[in-house]
Amino acid sequence: MYNRAIDISLLLLRIGFGGLMIANHGWPKFMRFFNGDPSSFGDPIGLGPEISLGLAVFAELFCAIMVVFGFFTRAALVPLMITMLVAFIMVKGGDLFGEGELPLVFFIPYLALFIAGPGWYSIDGRFRNKI
């Protein structure tokens, strides 16, 4: 027997963690990219601060929007998970019980969504069932 509670749970994870990422991380970085000083952003992977900020904006804003709507969800989760791992390991120094906790708090539900998929209440779910 099919359980809709799982799909509702996946929807809540997508909206909750995607929405928090957009509001608290993606949008501020987007504004910084265009109105602030992108050259002062960190460069954890050695591509330059402007490119690093652009990649963070792509993941934390655009990919997070895709996750919220459940559109190409698994593909959108990959940049988000990579960004959270980079933040945890390279930016926060792997500090599991301090500064590094927040990237892991985002990484774990993103990984769960990657494994489970977006669920019925998503654009992906609607297309999957019509093919």
Question: By residue range, what is the domain housing residue 70?
Answer: 4-124
Burial of 39 (0-12, 13-18, 19+ CB in 10 A): exposed
* Assigned domain for 23 exists: yes
Q: What is the mean pLDDT of the chain?
A: 93
Mean pLDDT calculated for residue range 13-31: 97
Backbone angles phi, psi at 47, to 5 degrees: -100, -5
* Assigned domain for 94 exists: yes
Mean pLDDT calculated for residue range 69-83: 98
* Assigned domain for 131 exists: no
Task: Tell me how far apart the alpha carbons of residues 128 and 131 are, in angstroms, rounded to a whole number.
Answer: 6
Say which DSSP state 48 is in.
-
* Assigned domain for 97 exists: yes
* More confidently predicted of 56 and 130: 56
* More confidently predicted of 74 and 45: 74
